[in-house]
Structure 1
Amino acid sequence: MNHLLNQKSWRFIDQSIVALNRTPLESFAMDDTLCHLVGQGMSDPTIRTWVHNETIVLGIQDHRLPYVQEGINFLEQRGYQAIVRNSGGLAVVLDSGVLNISLVLPEKDNAISINAGYDAMVDLVKSLYPEIQDDIKAYEIVGSYCPGSYDLSVEGKKFAGISQRRIRQGIAVQIYLCIEGSGSERAELIREFYQLSLKGEKTKFVYPDINPTVMASLSEILNREITVYETVLNLQKLIKFNGDMKLQNLSSEETEYYSYYLNRVFERNKKMLNSND
């Protein structure tokens, strides 16, 4: 087990039950809050699981697309909302078959490099799926959406992407795991979004040329139906096996920090989206 995962005590916050009126912006505010709390020694290291209904989470570069509003209109017609996140660079898909895991660690006493944070998440995922752990590779999958050097794949089929957020000496390593459904269908949606948002124009930033065939869900990779629910349970069992774990939501005092970060995230997202008007 990765040394960063060998914590004496873990806090576990499970928000994997989809709430119809909950936006991913709330999840980004929650991770910012946990970074603050964990980084300042006000909370144990924390693992949070979260799921949202149909949402396309745009990256910093996406809101600069020349015809991004047309792309957003297309997504809304397909039943998706669009938001801009505060970590990572390009668009990803969230829905009820995609599980997000946030690994929140402190670096107040010992600095954690960017790669070390990513490696900890890779090792956590490999431990979750021991039957394919030797087949899981971390490298950029060209043709995937939101490509990066820590894309997780099996035999060239990407099922996960990782990003990081750092605040007040706390680090949130965030991963999306495509567990249920079709990975290629999600990729096709993003491919059409970019086509409509670019219309063939050349831009300073090079957006991905998406090939849906390079993406798959873990159910497709394992050739059996697995669910978000069972993955959350397996994650809890894994953490309990390696140390003490407490299921613990925010206290009333911690909620005050959350309100601050939530307001900041909402204001930032509003500003980013309005900049395209």
Structure 2
Amino acid sequence: MNRDELLTLMPLNIEINTGEDPSNALHNILMDDEWAREVGREERFPTVRVWRHAPVQGLVVSKRDVAGAKGEEAMQVMAGLGWPIFVRPTGGTAVPHGAGVLNLSLLLPRTQEKVTTDAYYRLLCQPILDWFESMSLDATTGAVPGSYCDGNYNVLVDGLKLVGTAQAWRGGIAGTKSRHPGYVLAHACIMIDVDMVEATDVINRFYEEVGDDYRVDARTSTSLAQLLRLKRIEEAYDARTAQADFVRFLERYYSDANLDVQVR
């Protein structure tokens, strides 16, 4: 599917929302599921959420990562090290959490159309690729062995991972008449200004504590601020600035596709 075909998967009326809970890091993460359930019940417009983590550093992991006694012990150890663990509804392995991270979440209703997870990943990644292109960064998608939470739909610049993605489908066909109205949650985690060496060390320490041999390599990843500095495009770039820039870009991106866009 090309870009125009992908955008046909978007509802005609959407909301771009920067809503955040800066006081509760876990609730800020779980707002994706809360809002997505409302989308499935037709109580909220299909939503493109552009949000920052609460200003608390930590790791976001899947339920599988912290299952059992080892997981509970690891959470206590990591909290003592100043890197608390937050559990997300989607799968995958650990990713950094903190003020230097920007998130993009597509919260869309389940439909009757036969659509693959690949299509939704591409729908999620394409505006990010185009946003980076507008900054003169040559971005693509692909796997990077050794990177944190690796997958085929990482977003890469210069072969280094800059964005991780995940996806979850819940319930059946959306709508108020459905017994179990469903939704699609597609999520991207963009490293804006993160020390990836420190974050990688912390991820590896967490998996050591849970008794898992999984390890990641800091040389596989980068941040947007680092790339912009290296290319002499921008000397300082933080998540707040990135959020405002990305929202403006997305408003144009979706409006150019003839979607009715509200920004909140």
TMscore range, shorter length: 0.7 to 0.9
The AA in structure 1 aligned to 2:192 is I
Quote the Cα distance in structure 2 between the aligned partners of 1:188 and 1:176.
19
1:22 to 21, 24, 31: 24
What is the aligned partner in structure 2 of residue 246 from structure 1? 262
CA contact (8 A) 2:33 2:89 kept: no
CA distance in 2, matches of 1:208, 1:222: 30
Q: How does 1:259-274 map to 2 (within 5 A)?
A: none
**TM-score scaled to structure 2, two decimals?**
0.79
Inter-partner Cα distance in structure 2 for 1:4 and 1:231? 27
In 2, Cα distance between equivalents of 1:209 and 1:148: 15
Counting only pairs closer than 5 Å after superposition, residues 189-208 of structure 1 correspond to structure 2 as 189-198=202-211, 207-208=213-214
Secondary structure of the residue aligned to 2:105 is: strand
- Which residue of 1 is the match for residue 161 of structure 2? 158
Cα-to-partner distance string for 1:10-31 (whole Å, 9 max, x where unaligned)? 2122135x61x31224432x22
Matches within 5 A, 1:93-172: 93-131=96-134, 135-167=138-170, 168-172=181-185
**CA offsets, 1:47-85, max 9 Å, x none?**
112222212122133114774344323321232221322
**How far did residue 165 of structure 1 move?**
2.1
Contact 2:133 2:139 survives alignment (8 Å): no
SS in structure 2 of the partner of residue 96 of structure 1: coil
Structure 2 vs 1, CA of residues 58 and 114 (structure 1 numbering), >3 Å: closer, same or farther?
A: same
Q: How high is the TM-score relative to the length of structure 1?
A: 0.76
1:222 aligns with 2:223: no
Higher RCO structure, 1 or 2 (CA under 8 Å, sep 6+): 1
**1:87 corresponds to 2:85:** no
How far apart are 1:109 and its partner, in Å?
4.5
1:89 and 1:25 map into 2 onto residues whose CA distance is: 19
The equivalent residue for 2:175 is none
Confirm or deny: 8 A CA contact 1:165 1:173 kept in the other structure. Answer: yes
Q: Which residue of 1 aligns with 2:190?
A: 177
Query: Structure 1 CA distance, aligned partners of 2:153 and 2:116?
Result: 14
The letter of the residue matching 1:14 is: T
Q: 1:129 to 1:61 in 2, by over 3 A?
A: same
**Within 2, Cα distance between the matches of 1:121 and 1:139?**
14
Aligned partner of residue 106 in structure 2, secondary structure? strand
Partner of 1:188: 201
SS in 1 for 2:145: coil
Paired AA for residue 166 in structure 2:
S
Offset from partner CA, 1:121-153 (integer Å, 9 cap, x none): 110101221246773222222112222221222
The Cα of 1:97 is off from its aligned counterpart by 0.2
The answer to whether the Cα contact below 8 Å between 1:146 and 1:208 also exists between their aligned partners in 2 is: no
Partners of 2:129 and 2:140 within 8 A in 1:
no
Question: Larger deviation: 163-172 or 104-113?
Answer: 104-113
Q: How does 1:56-95 map to 2 (within 5 A)?
A: 56-64=59-67, 67-95=70-98
Change (3 A) 1:11 1:148: same
Runs of 5+ in structure 1 lacking a partner? 249-277
Cα-Cα RMSD: 2.5
What is the one-letter code of the residue matched to 2:188? I
The answer for the alignment partner of 1:271 in structure 2 is none
Q: 1:117 to 1:6 in 2, by over 3 A?
A: closer
